[in-house]
Structure 1
Amino acid sequence: MSAVHRLVTLFLVVALVVTSTGPALAQESQTSSDEMKALLDEGVALYNENVDQLDVSFAESFIAGKTVNVYIEDGDETHVFSAVVEDDMQIADVKTGPNPDASIRITTDYDTLESISSSSDPLGVVEQAIRDDRIRVTGEKGNLVDQTIWTLANIIKGLLF
């Protein structure tokens, strides 16, 4: 698995898989951001409790100390969350809405989340969704360095897969 896949999987398996589970998401376009945020908080707590058991050294230079905005398209709505990945790779300060200081942008949609949560192999589904661009990581608008890094990473990903 490439560093890009590992990085995204690290964040998304917690954020997206947990966000997509639970009865709150049973009806498309009727999920409130507050319901999604509550589930996201549970997933982040689980991740933070177990981060010391994960080998996240590959991702530190890409994401440690960064703020990430996660955009989830849900019918006619887009739910947006932000989080800070601390230097020790703990996820902190999860909030509803975009953070204007975020430098990384992760985008996906409800259907992708649903396929992840219903899979017996969620990591495999995340990896495939990354390859298919159903989960996309880019630099957030206005952050030229991260935009360049993630543009290059996506080009390389496109050449490898």
Structure 2
Amino acid sequence: MGKTTLIRSLLPDLPMMDYVVGSAILRELAGEAFAQFDSLPPDVKQRYREDAIRWMERRQERTGRHILCDGHTTLLNPSTRQAEQVFTQLDCNFFRELILLEAPAEVVLQRRRDDPSKRRNLDSELLREELAGERAACYRIARTHGMQAHELPVGDDLAITYRLKELLT
């Protein structure tokens, strides 16, 4: 089971949780420019990311529910082939906890191969670096900004599901 499937399986039991997907918010805000998001100037991407947090703040205020955002602290920059932090200062101010749901690189690679609808890195060594970069960034951000960081594997083990539900309630 992947992270999105895992999270969605818990939502009926989490009525105070408002689940959003970071890339879907960016897609909505950027419109047609989203197709070329990776090649946009850094300041433009930063503005969209900050606008996404403002969008979440307004939504949380309007609904009175906690935001659970399926997103990333880092993303692979295809032009440099380096993991770059995409978590903004506004993210750091908004979120209180980070939950790192991580599958082994081999599992992620196979899922990416099985889903040709998205352009994703299929280089196994680069993927390992990408995952390690995200893990390091997650813990660095949490430590620097006084957040709690949690790490869970992704899989079909019910203990993972129960632990995630426990973290979210």
TM range (shorter): 0.3 to 0.5
TM-score (norm 1): 0.41
Larger radius of gyration: 2
Higher relative contact order (CA 8 A, sep 6+): 2
- TM-score (ref. length: structure 2): 0.39
